[in-house]
A and B are shown apart, each in its own frame.
Chain A
Amino acid sequence: MEHEFTDQNFQNEVLKSKVPVLVDFWAPWCGPCRSMAPIIEELANEIGEDKLKIGKCNVDENSAVAGQFNVMSIPTFLVFQNGKVVEQFVGSVQKVAVKDKLARFIS
């Protein structure tokens, strides 16, 4: 299931998460974000939450978090592990390529 991360819950849901977390920083006006949305949603349904948590963060409504992690381009994808950014990629990416980047977290 896909999560929704906000300025309010980021600390608990992402930074303190026991499993790695993929965060999709997006906004409704961003075309490439829209084309990535179904891919991220599919992955959220395919990958077990016991291995990797997946969710999106609307930068328009949650500018504090976006600023804190220097998001300057969307879509930006950050993977957090133990509160730290351990993987990041930017822009339109194919589903297979996203899976490749996540492989080391879900094996």
Chain B
Amino acid sequence: MPHNLIIIGSGPAGWTAAIYAARAELKPVLFEGPEPGGQLMTTTEVENFPGFPKGILGSELMANMREQAKRFGTEIISDNVTAVDFSARPFKVTAGTNVHEANSVIISTGATARRLGLESEKALYGKGVSACATCDGFFFKGKQVIVVGGGDAAMEEACFLTRFADKVTIVHRRAEFKASKIMQERALANPKIQVIWNSAVEEILGVDIGHVTGVKLKDTVTGETRDMAIDGVFAAIGHEPTTALFKNILDLDEKGYIKTAPDSTCTSIQGVFAAGDVQDAKYRQAISAAGSGCMAAIEAERFLA
């Protein structure tokens, strides 16, 4: 017997879809994927999710959503989906060697943080290169770190890291930030934060020693390079939708986001819905992801009726 609904991904969109679908007695099955809880698991305090006037830890918010989805009977599978077949119904969703069938699917695989894309970055991951400021800031007590980027995430990480590091340098490839005014002001007013404008990280130094010792910076205007001694490197340079599984299966836009019909979560295949950051290059908020997860569950319910 195929399932009514499989949900792929466990961020705010996935859990909200699960809560709605489970309450509608669809007995949804949710695959948590490689990073359970999604991007909020690596943020600090979430201050803009309605209902939490004092803010809530990202990881706590996600634990709450999971518990709520479970309470109404969501079947949670802690595994990665490795392939999908949407060519006929029931749809097939493969996780490792297990093939699951479902009459409808909600994709909420979200987006993942973009990396600098350097070999030295890979080699030094966990050795001074970090993908999670909230997890690893602690290890940079009294040290000096850089944050690469110019958006809200870069400002937030830089501010957070000043709790531990002596000095935080934001390295940005342009002459101005694109972060919101409030976040920029917060960062620029912090005496521990300085900014290096018009610069990009060309290489992370220290591969031979086994931990980060510095970076090679390139001036994006003059092309000049220089070395800078540093203990830690954090990158906050945007996100990419997690859609590799759906290439050539669903219609994607030029940036790789899943295309959905206007005012809807319907994808190019009937019965397959997409919610959250995986289809949203514009808002990318926890609350908008949750909202579209709700829409997807209601649309799936109507589709199955």
A interface list, Cβ under 8 A from B: 27, 29-35, 39, 59-60, 66, 70-76, 90-92, 94-96
What is the distance, in angstroms, from A10's C-beta to the closest C-beta of chain B? 18
Pair B59/A34 contact, Cβ less than 8 Å: yes
Pair B35/A71 contact, Cβ less than 8 Å: no
Bound Cα distance A76, B139 (Å): 12
20 contacts between A and B (CB under 8 A): A30-B59, A30-B134, A31-B37, A31-B43, A31-B134, A31-B135, A32-B41, A32-B132, A33-B135, A66-B139, A70-B210, A71-B139, A72-B126, A72-B130, A73-B126, A74-B138, A75-B135, A91-B131, A92-B35, A94-B34
Which residues on B sit within 8 Å (CB–CB) of A29? 57, 134-135, 138
What is the distance, in angstroms, from B87's C-beta to the closest C-beta of chain A? 27
Which residues on A sit within 8 Å (CB–CB) of B59? 30-31, 34-35
Pair A96/B41 contact, Cβ less than 8 Å: no
Which residues on B sit within 8 Å (CB–CB) of A31? 37, 40-43, 57-59, 62, 132, 134-135
Q: Inter-chain contact count A-B, CB under 8 Å? A: 79
Question: Whose C-beta in chain B lies nearest to the C-beta of A67?
Answer: B139
**In the assembled complex, B211 has its CB within 8 A of some CB on chain A:** yes
What is the distance, in angstroms, from B143's C-beta to the closest C-beta of chain A? 10
Bound Cα distance A33, B37 (Å): 12
Pair A70/B127 contact, Cβ less than 8 Å: yes
Apart from A31-B43, A32-B42, A91-B131, what are 12 other A-B pairs with CB-CB below 8 Å? A30-B59, A31-B37, A31-B42, A31-B57, A32-B35, A34-B41, A34-B63, A73-B139, A75-B135, A76-B126, A94-B80, A95-B78
Question: Whose C-beta in chain A lies nearest to the C-beta of B41?
Answer: A31
Bound Cα distance A75, B210 (Å): 18
What is the distance, in angstroms, from B223's C-beta to the closest C-beta of chain A? 32
* Contact flag A73-B135 (CB < 8 Å), given A92-B35, A94-B80, A96-B96: yes
Bound Cα distance A32, B57 (Å): 13
Give the number of chain B interface residues (Cβ < 8 Å): 32
Which residues on A sit within 8 Å (CB–CB) of B134? 29-31
Bound Cα distance A73, B210 (Å): 14
Question: Whose C-beta in chain A lies nearest to the C-beta of B35?
Answer: A92
**In the assembled complex, B150 has its CB within 8 A of some CB on chain A:** no
Question: Whose C-beta in chain B lies nearest to the C-beta of A73?
Answer: B126
Which residues on B sit within 8 Å (CB–CB) of A34? 41, 59, 63
Contact of A30 among B36, B135, B232 (CB under 8 A): B135
Contacts of B113-168 to chain A: CB distance below 8 A: 125-128, 130-132, 134-136, 138-139
